[in-house]
Amino acid sequence: MTMTTTYTARPIDPHTLKNLRTADDADRAPAPFTDTEGGAPLRCCLRRGEPGERIALVSYAPLRRWAADRGVDPGAYDEQGPVFIHSEECAGPDAEAALPFTDAHRTVRRYSAEGRILGGRLVEEPAAFERALGEAFDDPAVALVHVRAVEYGCFLYEVRRG
């Protein structure tokens, strides 16, 4: 009997989104705009934006926020970068959705409970995501994983153990 684990992408939580819509992690006010083309990877609802939606590009420090909740200091691994979010509250991700944004090369970056990078893996095919996450969490030292875009290095979403 083999056990299959399903991994869930975690969007930016609603409380953090509320804060980011006032001041981002670089302490800047957001500048919402109407997305005329669509396609922006929205981290609030983990889907691509559609033309005509109001969105904002904000600076976000996912590891810093995760570490602060646990009372650890990620040290030099703390970083912030640009993410797209809806400019107003949205419904969040579809609970039945598969792992999002698997349509391009991605990096699965592993972190310890202390917020230190433990390594990473390039994932080139959508079908390889579950295997890459399984390999990451087979290591008991891995507390969470960030899925990031290869072309820009941007944070896309987080997956946690358990």
Task: Say how many domains are in the chain.
Answer: 2
59 within some domain: yes
The pLDDT value recorded for residue 1 is 42
pLDDT per residue as tens digits for the range 87-137:
999 999 988 778 899 989 999 999 999 999 999 999 999 999 999 999 999
4 within some domain: no
Q: For residue 69, what are the domain limits?
A: 14-86
Q: Give the DSSP letter string of the chain.
A: ----PPP--BPPPHHHHHHHTTS-TTS-----EE-SS---EETTTTEE--TT-EEEEEEE-HHHHHHHHHT---GGG---EEEEEESS------TT--SS--SS-EEEEEE-TTS-EEEEEEE-SGGGHHHHHHHHHHSTT--EEEEEETTT--EEEEEE--
Asked which of 57, 86, 115 is the last residue of a domain, the reply is 86
9 within some domain: no
pLDDT per residue as tens digits for the range 24-41:
999 999 999 999 999 999
Residues 64 and 119 in one domain: no
